[in-house]
Amino acid sequence: MKKQLPYYEFGEAVGFSQDWFEDHILHIGGCAAVTACDCCLLLSALHKLTALCPFAPEGADRESYTAFAKKVKPYLHPGFRGVDTLSRFVRGFSHYLRDSGRPMLGFAELEGEEPAQTAYQALRRQIINDIPVPFLLLKHRDPYLDEEYGWHWFVLAGFDDDAPGGPAVWAVTYGEGEWLDFERLWHTGYAKKGGLILLSLPKEGTAAR
């Protein structure tokens, strides 16, 4: 089985590119904020949770997205080491939803120490249910993954059970989507690991408190 979530686009770009921010902090360390914004935008479009996003997904442009990211930024401010744990992302994202009166999502943390098969099956269930998956990669022994995705939050928005090299996932960041071997991505080779967040939908009509 293979499934890929429909992602919003800016021209030929898949999603928003962090490089477009003029705000210095967001430009160099806004990946957690972008990941949270993308999840809100995608859930708004896929589940009609319009209250999650301050603009209609079909009306997304760089100006409206940048204004959104600036509202999320104080809650997911990168600081010296970035938003380098799952718990910090969950705390910041949930506080943003609460303080802004948005519908409260559920959050479950799946740490990088879990077996790859456990993580892949959990991610697969999320995408089957049209829920994007926030992913944190810290350091990686693979030079390509470390260069392109190291110390970074991004969204996983697709899976392919039958990819030639084994199960693959579709990673979206910096305005591009790329299929990555999941086992290779998951096994970083370092003791300090990232992981993924399993979001759950709010009950209809409920807002964060």
Q: What's the pLDDT tens digit per position in 190-207?
A: 999 999 999 999 875 444
Would you list the DSSP string of 78-124? -TTT-S-SHHHHHHHHHHHHHHHTPPPPEEEEEETTS-HHHHHHHHH
Nearest Cα neighbor of 84 from 30, 25, 138, 140 is: 138
Instruction: Could you please state the CATH topology (level 3) that the domain comprising 9-200 is classified under.
Output: Cathepsin B; Chain A (3.90.70)
Mean pLDDT of 164-188: 97
Report yes or no: 190 and 136 within 8 Å, Cβ to Cβ: no
Q: Which two tokens stand for residue 120?
A: 């892949």
Mean pLDDT of 60-76: 94
What dihedral do alpha carbons 38, 192, 200, 2 form, nearest 10°?
70
User: Over 50: is that where the pLDDT of 209 sits?
Assistant: no
Would you say how long the chain is, in residues? 209
Report yes or no: 110 and 191 within 8 Å, Cβ to Cβ: no
The reported pTM is: 0.94
pLDDT tier for residue 175 given thresholds of 50, 70 and 90: very high
Check residue 204 and give its pLDDT.
58
**pLDDT tens figures, 112-145:** 999 999 999 999 999 999 999 999 999 999 999 9
d(CA 21, CA 28): 9
d(CA 155, CA 66): 18
Domain spans, the chain? 9-200
**pLDDT tens figures, 90-102:** 999 999 999 999 9
Report yes or no: 34 and 18 within 8 Å, Cβ to Cβ: yes
